[in-house]
Structures are given as structure tokens and as C-alpha cells.
Structure 1
Amino acid sequence: MLKHLVLAFAMVALAPFAAQADDYKEGEHYDLISPPIRTESGDKVEVVEFFWYGCGHCYNFEPLIGQWKKGLGEDVAFVGSPAVWNKPMELHAKAYYTAEVLGVLDTMHPVLFQAMNVDRKRLQSDKEIKELFTANGVSGEDFDKAYGSFGVNSQVRQANSRARAAKITGTPEMMVAGKYRISTRKAGSQADMLKIADFLIEKERAAGGAAE
């Protein structure tokens, strides 16, 4: 009897999600990426956020996605991927991966967003970016070593290739499992982008795309 009650409760709890999930349609609310892109997160469902530090929409998205990431299961891997459409954006992508290599991404990620969107700094030179890092506790020597490294430059090239393969047209956009692209334009809002991402993560789980 208890088993039946638990099952009934679970069905009721999932009913709103199921009804909502039925509303999300390929081509209408999200796009299929063809051919799919190889992911780098093993048997986890990989979720990629394409962003740019100078994008006001990305800046506004950060608090939402920061909170959303806290609720992701252990079978989901979140990957930040800076967009690279021109030389200044390449410098900003190098700043992201430099912060990651130095283990200061949690500090520098919001600092870089604030510098460009609140403080109105353009960050169009290596010198400006270095000054931002050193002002936040990173030694100039450590910055130079990471910023000019083969590893960081390689990651920037990979980010550029990833965005091109996903055919992103703006930022922020998201990709799930290398198969689905979510844009604000089709999702309707940034909050709905995350709801659709949740739906697609569940879709991958149901298809056996991630370890439970």
C-alpha cells in the first residue's frame, strides 16, 4: 500500500513538469544541432553557456544561471564557452581561460563582467586585462605565464570552433549534450532558456545519455 502511495505522489509531483515538457518543441523553442558536436564531459550531460563579457544580456543572465547551476545533478557538467567573433573578444576569452588555469575564475568571472558592463571598461589590450587581474590579487608573473601559454590559446581556439559548430548567432546561448541549441529569441526569455535546458537534460537522461 505504501509503495502505491509513493508512486502516486511521484506521478502527481511530476505532472506539472510533464505538461510543461510537452510544450517544448524542436525548431520552435530550441534547435537541433546537425551534425552533433562531440562533448568532452564523458558520460555526463554537458551543458554549455556561450557568453561574452561585454554582453549586457549575458551580464543580466549571470545571477540566473549561477543559481540554476547549484541545482544541477552530479550527472551534469556545466561548461562556460566565451564567444570569439573578433580580436577584442579573443582577448576576453583569453582572460576567461587564464582565470580558469590560475584557479581564480570564481573571483575574476564577476570582476570581468562588472568591468565591462558597470565600469564601462573596454578591455581591448593585454595591459588592461593584466591590470584587472593584478588589482584582484594575481601576481603579474603568474598572469603572464598563463595568459601567453599554449594551453590558454588552445582553449580559445576550441571555444571558437565550438561556437561555429553550434552555429550560435548571439549571446547568451546554451547547448545541451552537443545536440541542442537554446537561444533567448526562441525560448522567449532567459528564465525559459533554463527551463528548456532542464527539459533537454531530462530528455538525455531518459535516452541514457548520462549516468544516473
Structure 2
Amino acid sequence: MRNLILSAALAAAGLFGMVAQAEPIEAGKQYVELTSPVPVSKPGQIEVVELFWYGCPHCYQFESTINPWIEQLPEDVNFVRIPALFGGVWNVHGQAFITLESMKVEQKVHDAVFEAIHKQGKKLASPEEIAEFLVGQGVDKAKFLSTYNSFAVKGQMEKAKKLAMAYQISGVPVMVVNGKYRFDIGSSGGPQQTLQVADHLIERERAAQ
């Protein structure tokens, strides 16, 4: 249902993207200002969060747009990816992401997980299935599974759940700037426009410091 709603929003964004692009970026239009700001993970830096799910086709498509943008971010911006945890396979994939982050794997491993699900038709619906797949990406199976079940990863899972609730998200992909402003591809008018909104809000926060 969440993906169906976002698909409709994306369709509308495709029809009206040029109009949205011409409009000034304002609260209530391209983004929502949260009533209760969420503390950032690194005080003193401007935080940009993307909430996503490996199984989300829109998140997968957004990768080719957002990853080059992330590489060009200035030093005062801290980019953070957080898995959305809506239960079931969302949580399995989210825990796998946190595990791989804890293991400090390269971005190409995350890319491979996305490709496996969206290009190869793999479900990767259990930690064992994910571990088997990751062997082909140079990830040690036993280390992955032990890290997946570790106390530290489970603690990060709880933190991710609380953050998603604080951000009041209902679908993915979603971005949040400095714990204050939430927006997505539908509200922004398209993938590239989403990053324009992010840039606008980063500049706003930088000017306020």
C-alpha cells in the first residue's frame, strides 16, 4: 500500500514536475516542517537523513540520482541512511543494512543487494538467504550472521524504529534535513527536485548557524 501511494504521487510528479520546479520552495508545499525537531547524530553538522528499504523500487531508482550527490556534499553536512522498519521483510532487510554498515562494507555491496532484489528477482527474505548471497560479494557468512544477531545491531534497530516514529514517516524514500524538515520524491516533484529541496534546506540551516 505504501508503495502504491508513492507510485501515484510519482505519477502526479511526472505530470506536474515542471510546474513544481518553477514554484518557490516553501513549507507545506515541497516539504513539511516537523512540529517537534529530532536531535541530530552529530551536533555542529547539518544532518541529511534518507530513510529507505532495499525492497522499494523507488529507493532503488533514486540510488543513481542521490549517490553522486552524496559524494559532493561539503564537510559540514553529515549524510545518514536509516532503514525503514515496517515489520516483516522490511525489518529483515533493515537489520541486514545495519549489519553491513557495522561491518563497514563498501557501497558496492549495498548496490549488489539492491540489484539482486530488483534486477535478479531474489527475495533475500531471511538472514540466512542474505548471508548466502553476500558470500559472492566477499562478505564472510559467519561474521555477517553473528553481527546480524549481535546486541549492538539490535540496539541500532530500536534506534531506527524510534527515529522513524519521530520523523512521522509513512513510506519511503523519505529525506529529513537537520531533524526539522521532511520531504520525498512525490512532494518535491521528482528525484532531482528532491535534491534541490535538500540543497535549499541545507543552505537555510547553514545560514541560521
Q: When the two structures are superposed, what TM-score results if normalisation uses the length of structure 2?
A: 0.86
For 1:35 and 1:185, the matched residues in 2 are separated by 23
- What SS does the aligned partner of 1:49 have? strand
Aligned-residue offset at 1:65: 0.5
For 1:65 and 1:199, the matched residues in 2 are separated by 15
For 1:92 and 1:63, the matched residues in 2 are separated by 20
Aligned-residue offset at 1:22: 8.0
Aligned to 2:13: none
- Unpaired segments of 5 or more residues in structure 1? 1-19
Tell me which moved more, 139-148 or 75-84. 139-148
For 2:189 and 2:183, the matched residues in 1 are separated by 10
Contact 1:21–1:199 at 8 Å: present in 2 too?
Answer: no
CA RMSD of aligned residues (A): 1.5
Aligned to 2:14: none
Aligned to 1:130: 131
Contact 2:49–2:82 at 8 Å: present in 1 too?
Answer: yes
- What SS does the aligned partner of 2:48 have? strand
One-letter identity of the residue aligned with 1:168: I
Query: Is 1:186 equivalent to 2:194 in the alignment?
Result: no
Q: When the two structures are superposed, what TM-score results if normalisation uses the length of structure 1?
A: 0.85
> Cα 1:21–1:189, aligned 2, differ >3 Å: closer, same or farther?
closer
Structure number with the bigger relative contact order (C-alpha 8 A, sep ≥ 6) is 2
For 1:137 and 1:96, the matched residues in 2 are separated by 16
Contact 2:96–2:127 at 8 Å: present in 1 too?
Answer: no
Identity of aligned residues (%): 39
For 1:105 and 1:132, the matched residues in 2 are separated by 16
Q: After the TM superposition, which residues 37-116 of structure 1 pair with which residues of structure 2 at under 5 Å, given as runs? A: 37-116=38-117
Aligned-residue offset at 1:87: 1.9
Q: How many pairs does the alignment contain?
A: 189
Summarize deviations over 1:102-154 as a string: whole Å, max 9, x none: 12141321011111111111111121111112221122221122111111111
Query: Is 1:163 equivalent to 2:172 in the alignment?
Result: no
Aligned-residue offset at 1:21: 10
Q: After the TM superposition, which residues 148-159 of structure 1 pair with which residues of structure 2 at under 5 Å, given as runs? A: 148-159=149-160
Structure exhibiting the larger radius of gyration computed from Cα positions: 1
- What SS does the aligned partner of 1:99 have? helix
Aligned to 1:36: 37
Contact 1:46–1:78 at 8 Å: present in 2 too?
Answer: yes
Q: Which runs of 4+ in 1 moved over 6 A?
A: none
Contact 2:175–2:182 at 8 Å: present in 1 too?
Answer: yes
Summarize deviations over 1:182-210 as a string: whole Å, max 9, x none: 112211111111000000000000000xx
Contact 1:96–1:105 at 8 Å: present in 2 too?
Answer: no
For 1:127 and 1:167, the matched residues in 2 are separated by 31
For 1:192 and 1:46, the matched residues in 2 are separated by 19
Contact 1:52–1:82 at 8 Å: present in 2 too?
Answer: yes
Aligned-residue offset at 1:164: 1.4
